Structure 1
């Protein structure tokens, strides 16, 4: 299995965007193929299901059980925009990003590539953390502050921040904080919050970076919890793909879901082993004790069934961020018995 741990340079990412711009709205001529599975993931414990599936070779295992040899490759990116570009340029079959980027792509490809969700990666509370002592709520951020997140106006962190802004200032002001938001990978943003002394005074991140910030900088505090905005536990990070892959590679698709399901059970039964797998997949970097704290957090659940995602999509439609209104999970997730009971 080839695992690419390098983050695309800005130049490479720009090249991908150009290629995507040319093909946006045009169904790729390339055919989806059984046995080919290229997956884009990002940073954080939220991708632990993929790390476990990779380490245990669960996708290959379930593929063989279904009579197909699956070649699995992982591409590591940062930000929903880059992940969406990779999917539309036919560089990957499975995109791993926030539910915000899923809604963006579902909306823009409806009637063409028909991108939909495949599975959730679990429920995780995302924290907007600040090291600015003057910031107690999002209303306290000023022009002098900068809020780091994976992709401005696209990532789930950005969309949740917009939702929170709309609740505070009204729908017409939903993107009020976009102008002081900057795109930055989680590791770099976390380092800025911990060290201090930079223009980055806020970071809307994910585990374990947010916990690391709170543990290593005594001035760091939580300004916003995504669960508070979303109305409870929610699947903020998901996996999605094109209708072509769903229809033309059914054995590979099912083997992938089977592998994720098994990975979720392994994490629940053996959190210590799961923590070791995460550390190995990320070059041994990280505090194991802090990592276990995240995995065992009662607010965290590893599962493939999406939960509490519809509200964000309806908000995005209400403020005009997407044209099509999602009315049920089946509108933006592919059909599967393990997904059907989600929300």
Structure 2
């Protein structure tokens, strides 16, 4: 049985659904996966490059057809998942928790695994900004999804800590939705209204090479240590109706983690090859080897988001532990 890979770069939800609904998601022996862009998806790049899902499927006597897609933005991801156009999607912890919250008792969306822990830095080129308290209405903070994305939710949690829960949206009014590459260009060039950027790897590494750009805050500061950035998630229906495919997928993710940790230079080359990235190999190797980054399927400090976002009223449902919003296959690790 031939293995077919399809990689679509889609930004409009209509195009996403139109292109994907025809793939026939949710059938044992088939899996449709969507990832976003960046080094945070290295585990998936290794899975794809080495055909690990197919490998673990064959160990169960199952030929698995894998459909790979690339989509920009958690909103498009979530809509495609709920429409049945995709089996597995990926995004930051807060967008996943939002969908878990909204689908309880219905599609019952839960996380499959972490894609790794990596810090996101809030950077600025404004020399007068040394801490959150120094931001004014004259500043503009670029984030991928103002008010709702990983970076914005992280900023809101820290803002609540420093200014009180009633003021957790204090910086939403100076936040601007802008893709990471555009925000990076603006911060490095200077002279625009965008003088700050809640960034992520690899972009924050490029920005910090520019004199006058420095870190105000790390997501690790907010979480009190290393924390999961992106996760994979799916519906209860796909999980329950495709046990062999799901098992093969989870095993592939776990093996990819070990492959990366065993040979990080090779993993960096895999990223450039699979993503067709134009980043210098030395920079990608630096990121993969960064001691602050851990490419692991085990969730870390995700429950902080669940607790704080429920406390702030963003989530209606209260999770008792991280296991409430992760499927049981992930429960064996020392997650949090």
With the length of structure 2 as denominator, give the TM-score of the two structures: 0.92
Compute the displacement of 1:331 (Å): 0.8
Compute the displacement of 1:266 (Å): 0.8
Compute the displacement of 1:337 (Å): 5.4
Compute the displacement of 1:142 (Å): 2.4
Deviations along 1:208-230, one digit per CA (max 9) or x if unpaired, are 11111112x21211111001101
Q: Distance in 1 between matches of 2:98 and 2:147?
A: 10
Q: Where do residues 69-84 of structure 1 align in structure 2 (5 Å cutoff)?
A: 69-84=63-78
- Stretches of structure 1 that go unaligned for 5 or more consecutive residues are 19-29
| Conservation of the 8 A alpha-carbon contact between 2:26 and 2:84 | no
1:256 counterpart (249, 253, 257): 249
Aligned to 1:202: 196
| Conservation of the 8 A alpha-carbon contact between 2:227 and 2:300 | yes
- Stretches of structure 2 that go unaligned for 5 or more consecutive residues are 19-23
| Conservation of the 8 A alpha-carbon contact between 1:190 and 1:203 | yes
Q: Distance in 2 between matches of 1:323 and 1:284?
A: 40
Compute the displacement of 1:17 (Å): 9.1
For residue 252 of structure 1, give the secondary structure of its aligned residue in structure 2: helix
Aligned to 1:280: 273
| Conservation of the 8 A alpha-carbon contact between 2:298 and 2:330 | no
Q: Distance in 1 between matches of 2:7 and 2:25?
A: 23
Mark the CA change 1:70 to 1:97 in structure 2 (over 3 Å): closer, same or farther. same
Aligned to 1:45: 39
Compute the displacement of 1:15 (Å): 6.5
| Conservation of the 8 A alpha-carbon contact between 2:125 and 2:212 | yes
For residue 130 of structure 2, give the secondary structure of its aligned residue in structure 1: coil
Compute the displacement of 1:78 (Å): 2.4
Deviations along 1:85-137, one digit per CA (max 9) or x if unpaired, are 22112221111110000110000000000000100011111111112222222
Shifted more, 316-325 versus 329-338: the winner is 329-338
For residue 2 of structure 1, give the secondary structure of its aligned residue in structure 2: coil
Q: Does 1:326 align with 2:329?
A: no
For residue 127 of structure 2, give the secondary structure of its aligned residue in structure 1: coil
Mark the CA change 1:97 to 1:147 in structure 2 (over 3 Å): closer, same or farther. same
Aligned to 1:129: 123
Q: Distance in 2 between matches of 1:91 and 1:327?
A: 31
Deviations along 1:285-338, one digit per CA (max 9) or x if unpaired, are 112212111111112111111111101111000010010011112210000156
Aligned to 2:9: 6
| Conservation of the 8 A alpha-carbon contact between 1:81 and 1:155 | no
Mark the CA change 1:3 to 1:139 in structure 2 (over 3 Å): closer, same or farther. farther
Shifted more, 288-297 versus 69-78: the winner is 69-78
Q: Distance in 2 between matches of 1:273 and 1:127?
A: 26
Q: Distance in 1 between matches of 2:25 and 2:5?
A: 22
Aligned to 1:175: 169
Compute the displacement of 1:341 (Å): 3.0
Compute the displacement of 1:180 (Å): 1.7
Q: Distance in 2 between matches of 1:140 and 1:225?
A: 16
RMSD: 1.9
Aligned to 1:295: 288
Q: Distance in 1 between matches of 2:133 and 2:8?
A: 37
Aligned to 1:26: none
Q: Distance in 2 between matches of 1:227 and 1:340?
A: 21
Q: Distance in 2 between matches of 1:169 and 1:39?
A: 40
Equivalent residues, number = 328
Shifted more, 295-304 versus 198-207: the winner is 198-207
| Conservation of the 8 A alpha-carbon contact between 1:304 and 1:338 | no
Q: Distance in 2 between matches of 1:3 and 1:128?
A: 34
2:136 counterpart (121, 127, 142): 142
With the length of structure 1 as denominator, give the TM-score of the two structures: 0.90
2:298 counterpart (300, 305, 314): 305
Compute the displacement of 1:339 (Å): 4.6
| Conservation of the 8 A alpha-carbon contact between 2:36 and 2:90 | yes
